Every structure is written in C-alpha cells, then in structure tokens.
Amino acid sequence: MVDAQYTPAQILEWLSQVPDPEIPVLTITDLGIVRDVDCSAGVTVSLTPTYSGCPATEAIEASVAATLQEHGVDDVRIKRVLSPPWTTDWISEAGRKKLTVYGIAPPERRDRPIACPRCDSSNTEQVSEFGSTACKASYRCIDCLEPFEYFKCL
Amino acid sequence: MSSDETLVAYASRLGDNALILGQRMIELVAASPELEEELANANFSLDYIGQARMYYTYAGEREGAGRDEDDFAFLRPEHDYKNLLLVEQSNGHFGDSTVRQFLFESWYVLLLEALTRCSDEGISVIAARAIKEVRYHLRHSSQWLVRLGDGTEESHARVQVSLDDLWRFTGEMFAPDDLDDEMRAAFNGPHLEVIETQWRENVAAVLAEATLDMPDDQWMAIGGKQGQHSEHMGFLLAEMQHLQRAYPGATW
C-alpha cells in the first residue's frame, strides 16, 4: 500500500480548524502553539503547552490527532516541545482580533492601556489579577461599565 | 552515581517540591479570604502541579524503567520524597501560607534562573518554562507580605510570628548535599551559596518594605532533601495518594 503524501502546508490548513477547548473562538494556529509539522515519515506535529498546568494540553493533543485522522492521515505523532517556552507574543494578529470580537481583551505589553473590547475605551480598571483560567485576569470598563476578561501577557 | 541517576534524582526532587507545594495550595481552595485569592491559589497550584508533571515525566524517561508521572506522584512512600521541609508545612492561617510561599518562591525563582543555564537540556527547558510562572507567583506573595506586614497592628504582629516560625526551614535551601554537588559538577547546576547571597538581599528588601524584622539565624531544621520529613508530610500524602492506594491503577 502506498501512503498518501501530505505537505506541511496542507496539514497546517487542517490544524487551523482545531479550536482551543477553553477559548473556542481561537484555533490552535491562532494561539501559536503549533511549532512544527514534519511529513517526512508519517506526520509529526510539534505542539507547545501554554501554561505548565494548562488542563487543555491533553485535550488539544487528542483533537489534533482526531482531526488529522478524519482527513485520512493514519500515522500521526504528537511531539510536545517545551523550548522555547510559549509566549502570548505568538498569538497571531487574526487571533487578537477574534479575541476582541469574542469579548476578551488581547494581551498588551507593559505600559500599554488595556482597551475595553466592547467600546474600545482605555479607561478600564483591573478587578482581579486572576480569572476563570490561568491565562486571564478580570477587568471592567469605567466608561461603558462592561465587565470583561483580559488575556494576560506571558 | 551515573549521570543518568543524577538527573533522575535531581528532576524528581524538583518535582517533589512543586507537587507538594501544589497540593498544599489546592487545600486552600474554597477557604480563601476573597475571590481573587481563591482564583490565584487555584491558578498557582495548577502551575506547580504542571511543573511537577514535567519534572516527573523527564525523570521517568531518563530512568527508562517505565515509571510515569503518576508513579512518581502517587505510588512512592514518604521517604522517597525529597522535597524541602518548608513546602510541606501546613497552611496555618493566611499569614503562615503567605510567608511559606514568599520564602520558597524567593529561592525557587533564583534556582530556576540558574537551572536555565545548566548543561542538561531536559532540565533547562523545564526551568525556562517554569520561571515565567514563578516570577508572578513571587510578585503575588511579596505584595501580600507587604500588605500584611505594613497593614494593621494585628496583621503585622501575626505575620511576624509566621516569619519567625518558618525561618528555621530556610537553611535547608542553601545547604548543598551530594546530589547538589554532583549536579553542579556534572551539569553546571546551581551554586547554592551564590543563590543564598542573592536571596538574602531580595528577602531583606521586601521585609523592609513590609516593616518586618528579618529573623536571626537560629537552629535550622533539615532532612527533607534526604527524605526525613516533618510530622505534616504523612497526612498530606495520605490524602493525596488515597485514591491510588485504595484502588490501584484506577483511571478515569
């Protein structure tokens, strides 16, 4: 039997449909956690965890394997790479826009104001540095009063 | 000790510190004084348990005997855990927990910094991942220490007692044993005396801001790194390991 040949671009295209289980509006390619696709022997996908204890890591690995299998790729291997460590800088521009539309303020480098995802005002305040998941803080907009989550910079 | 044995022992010891502290913090869930703290503790605990998983998985791979993270976490007896006595100390009141976190994290962040430069890639990449998390853990515990120390008369007095009580567990962090020496010689591991100097400086600065007195160096309790634990450890393990002990191999 002759194996079907896949290209990394094709695999990446399929992976760009896999949602993050905790923030389903983002795909794993938006998040920047797909570090490499190697099609030389079967298909090996290298993924990096976001936070050490992120409970979504296993779920993401399982959905990557399942998605590729649905597309007929039988020989899927998932490699977990820790280095270099993931940073929120790897979230794509498209991902940042999707986050805002979803109501989560995207990560900002220090000293830059956190804008309200609803009215875009920079007049916002932190309610709690810790939120519903390890990656988010709770904020509120002083102008439009919208409570919102902020994706913390890591 | 072969170089593999050194790495297995060292990685699993790092895992023990992270796991036991993570377990202590998860005990605080649903007991925090306010919601922000509740979320912070759960988040931090998850970070520590995630780090423990990485250390244990790496130790298991190096060992090559088929042990995985769960074997390390749930199926070893008390004497096989080599964590610092400090991390197993019970939560006490909020000031006690805060001081424990602060003293440990002030040390751990420096240790991780040194480990990112060690010559074993397996450990250095975990350290590079973990340090990003521990930096904000330390920022959090430092802020609380300042708030409690420079707070009310009551909070100041109580947190000073916490500091005096827990100080005796800090000596162990800087006393190199054979494993520390081997790690340093073979893999450019951390130099604990250098870390101690830096730690004292950093701790003194936060204590000054918190208007707390740095305790005198008194008799130091040691033994955790050799598997001789305080009275708290057995109870912690009994609860943490209960499921795997009662139903060996249980999965869900």
A115-143 pLDDT tens trace: 999 999 999 999 988 888 888 999 999 99
C-alpha dist (Å) from residue B13 to A72, B62, B164, B181: 43, 14, 26, 14
> Is B136's pLDDT higher than 80?
yes
Give pLDDT, residue B218.
Answer: 85
Q: What is the number of structural domains in chain A? A: 2
Give pLDDT, residue B35.
Answer: 85
Name the minimum distance, in Å, from the CA of A1 to any CA of chain B: 34
- What number is the ipTM of this complex? 0.80
Does A76 lie in the same domain as A114?
Answer: no
At residue B32, φ and ψ (nearest 5 deg) are -80, 155
Does A74 lie in the same domain as A129?
Answer: no
> Is B9's pLDDT higher than 90?
yes
Does A18 lie in the same domain as A67?
Answer: yes
Partner B contacted by A84 (CB < 8 A)? yes
Average pLDDT over residues B61-66: 97
Strand partners, B249: none
Residue A139 placed within a domain: yes
Does A120 lie in the same domain as A81?
Answer: no
Helix (H) / strand (E) element for A43: namely strand A43-47
Residue A1 placed within a domain: no
Residue A85 has its nearest CB partner, among B40, B121, B129, at B129
Residue A91 placed within a domain: no
Partner B contacted by A130 (CB < 8 A)? yes
Residue A116 placed within a domain: yes
* Close Cβ partners of B183 (under 8 Å, ≥ 6 residues apart): B6, B10, B118, B189, B190
Give pLDDT, residue A52.
Answer: 83
Residue A44 placed within a domain: yes
Strand order across the A76-80 sheet: A34-38, A43-47, A76-80
pLDDT tens-digit series, residues B201-227: 999 999 999 999 999 998 999 999 999
Give pLDDT, residue B27.
Answer: 93
Q: Residues of B with CB below 8 A from A49's CB?
A: 50, 129
Partner A contacted by B186 (CB < 8 A)? no
Give pLDDT, residue A54.
Answer: 81
Residue A122: how many CA atoms within 13 Å on its side-chain side?
4
CATH of the domain at A28: 3.30.300.130
Give pLDDT, residue B251.
Answer: 83
Give pLDDT, residue A153.
Answer: 87
Q: Residues of B with CB below 8 A from A83's CB?
A: 121, 124-125, 128-129
Residue A110 placed within a domain: yes
Does A82 lie in the same domain as A15?
Answer: yes
Residue B232: how many CA atoms within 13 Å on its side-chain side?
15
Does A74 lie in the same domain as A41?
Answer: yes
Question: At B144, is the secondary structure helix, strand, or coil?
Answer: helix
Residue B39 has its nearest CB partner, among A49, A82, A131, at A131
Q: Residues of A with CB below 8 A from B132's CB?
A: 85, 87, 154
Q: Residues of B with CB below 8 A from A133's CB?
A: 43
Give pLDDT, residue A2.
Answer: 43
Give pLDDT, residue A147.
Answer: 95
Q: Which domain holds residue A127?
A: 104-151
Residue B250 has which token pair? 């249980």
Average pLDDT over residues B179-185: 98
Name the minimum distance, in Å, from the CA of B122 to any CA of chain A: 9
Domain boundary among A34, A52, A86: A86
Does A130 lie in the same domain as A65?
Answer: no
Average pLDDT over residues B177-187: 97
Give pLDDT, residue B33.
Answer: 79
Give pLDDT, residue A122.
Answer: 94
Does A79 lie in the same domain as A131?
Answer: no
Q: Residues of B with CB below 8 A from A128's CB?
A: 35-36, 39
Number of residues that make up chain B: 252
Does A81 lie in the same domain as A40?
Answer: yes
Q: Which of B32, B55, B118, B129 to mutate to test the interface with A (most CBs of A within 10 A)?
A: B129
Residue B132 has its nearest CB partner, among A53, A132, A154, at A154
- The segments of chain A whose pLDDT lies below 70 read 1-4
Partner A contacted by B53 (CB < 8 A)? yes
Residue A86: how many CA atoms within 13 Å on its side-chain side?
27
Give pLDDT, residue B44.
Answer: 94
Q: How many CB pairs under 8 A join A and B?
A: 58
Does A69 lie in the same domain as A129?
Answer: no
Residue A52 placed within a domain: yes
- Complete domains list, chain B, with CATH: 3-218+229-246 (1.20.1260.10)
Choose between A136 and B146: higher pLDDT: B146
Query: Euclidean distance between the first and final Cα of chain B, in Å?
Result: 38
Q: In chain B, which residue's Cα lies nearest the Cα of A132?
A: B39
CA angle A69, A71, A74 (to 5 degrees): 40
B 162-181: CB under 8 A from A: none
Q: In chain B, which residue's Cα lies nearest the Cα of A58?
A: B50
Q: Residues of A with CB below 8 A from B47's CB?
A: 51-53, 134
Give pLDDT, residue B84.
Answer: 98
Name the minimum distance, in Å, from the CA of A137 to any CA of chain B: 10
Partner A contacted by B54 (CB < 8 A)? yes
Does A14 lie in the same domain as A82?
Answer: yes
Give pLDDT, residue A1.
Answer: 40
Does A116 lie in the same domain as A82?
Answer: no
Partner A contacted by B137 (CB < 8 A)? no
Residue A2 placed within a domain: no
